[in-house]
Structure 1
Amino acid sequence: MTITRRQTLLGAAGATAALALPRSLMAQSGQILHASWGGGVGDTWTGAFAEPFTEETGNAVRIVEVPNPEAQFRAQAGNPQYHTGIGTFVQGVNLMRDDMLETFSIDEIPNMRNIDEKYWLKTEDGRLAGITPYFAYYGIAVNTNEASMDDFGSWKNLADEKWAGRLGMTRPIYLSTYDLTILSKAAGGDEFNTAGGMELLKGMAKNVLNVSNSLAQQNTMLERGEVAAMPFYSVRVWSLNEAGVDYVKMVIPEEGALLLPYVVVAPKGVADRELVAQWLNFIAGAAPQERGMEISGYIPASNEAEASDAVREKIGMSFADLRAKLYQPDWGHIAAAQKETVADIDQMLANL
Structure 2
Amino acid sequence: MTFTRRQTLFGAAGAAAVLSLPSRLMAQSGELLHASWGGGVGDTWTGAFAAPYTKETGIGVRIVEVPNPEAQFRAQAGNPQYHSGIGTFVQGVNMMRDGVLETFSIDELPNMRNIDEKYWLKTEDGRLAGITPYFAYYGIAVNTNEASVDDFSSWKNLEDAKWAGRLGMTRPIYLSTYDLTILSKAAGGDEYDTAGGMKLLEGMARNVLNVATSLAQQNTMLERGEVAAMPFYSVRVWSLNEAGVDYVRIVIPEEGALLLPYVVVAPKGVADREKVANWLNYIAGAAPQERGMAISGYIPANNDAVAPEDIKAKLGMDYAALKARLYQPDWGYIAEHQKDTVAAIDQMLASL
User: What TM-score comes out, normalization by structure 1 length?
Assistant: 0.96
Other-structure match for 1:236? 236
Please name the residue that 2:65 is paired with. 65
Per-residue CA distance 1:139-194 (angstroms, 9 max, x = gap): 00000000010000000111111111101111111111100000000000000111
- Cα pair distance change 1:7/1:245, threshold 3 Å: closer
Query: How many pairs were matched up?
Result: 345
**Matching residue of 2:13:** 9
Mapped contact 1:131–1:280 kept (Cα < 8 A): yes
User: 1:106 maps to which residue?
Assistant: 106
Equivalent residue, structure 1, for 2:291: 291
Q: Structure 1 residue runs of 4+, over 4 Å off? A: 4-8
Q: Contact (CA 8 Å) 1:7, 1:74: kept in 2 or not?
A: no
Shift of 1:27: 3.8
Identity between Structure 1 and Structure 2 (%): 82
Correspondence for 2:5: none
Comparing 19-28 with 215-224, greater Cα deviation is found at 19-28
CA offset at residue 309 of structure 1?
1.1
SS at match of 2:173: helix
What is the aligned partner in structure 2 of residue 20 from structure 1?
Answer: 20
**CA 19–223 in structure 1, closer or farther in 2 if over 3 Å, else same:** farther
TM-score by length of 2: 0.96
Q: Quote the residue 1:337 is aligned against.
A: 337
2: CA distance between counterparts of 1:24 and 1:310?
Answer: 41
Unaligned segments of structure 1, at least 5 residues: none
**Cα distance between partner residues in 1 of 2:153 and 2:11:** 41
Structure 1 residues 226-265: aligned runs within 5 Å? 226-265=226-265
State the AA in 1 paired with 2:301: A
Moved more, 264-273 or 336-345: 336-345
5+ residue gaps, structure 2: 1-7
Tell me what 1:221 maps to: 221
Q: Give the 5 Å matches for 1:191-206.
A: 191-206=191-206
- What pairs with 1:162-201 in structure 2 (closer than 5 Å)? 162-201=162-201
Verify the 8 A CA contact 2:139 2:232 in the aligned structure 1: yes
In the other structure, the counterpart of 1:83 is 83
Asked whether the equivalents of residues 29 and 272 of structure 1 are also in contact (C-alpha less than 8 Å), the reply is: no
Kindly state the Cα deviation for residue 19 of structure 1 after the two structures are TM-superposed. 5.0
Per-residue CA distance 1:295-314 (angstroms, 9 max, x = gap): 00000000000001110111
Query: Quick check: 1:146 aligned with 2:146?
Result: yes
Give the partner amino acid of 1:104: F
Distance 2:127 2:205 in 1: 41
Shift of 1:74: 1.1
Q: Deviations over 1:315-339 (max 9, x none)?
A: 1111000000000111111111111
Does the aligned pair in 1 maintain the 2:10–2:336 contact within 8 Å?
Answer: no
CA contact (8 A) 2:12 2:94 kept: no
For 2:38 and 2:11, locate their aligned partners in 1 and report how far apart those are by CA, in whole Å.
23
- Map of 1:292-331 to 2, 5 A cutoff? 292-331=292-331
Deviations 1:259-315 (A, max 9, x none): 000000111111111011000000000000000000000000000000011101111
Task: Give the drift of 1:345.
Answer: 1.1
Partner AA of 2:343 in structure 1: A
What residue in structure 2 maps to residue 121 of structure 1? 121
CA–CA separation in structure 1 for the residues paired with 2:309 and 2:72? 39
Give, in whole Å, the separation in 2 of the partners of 1:19 and 1:179. Answer: 35
Name the SS for the 1:343 alignment partner: helix
Distance across 1 between alignment mates of 2:111 and 2:238: 27
Q: CA RMSD in A?
A: 1.3
C-alpha displacement at 1:108, in angstroms?
Answer: 0.2
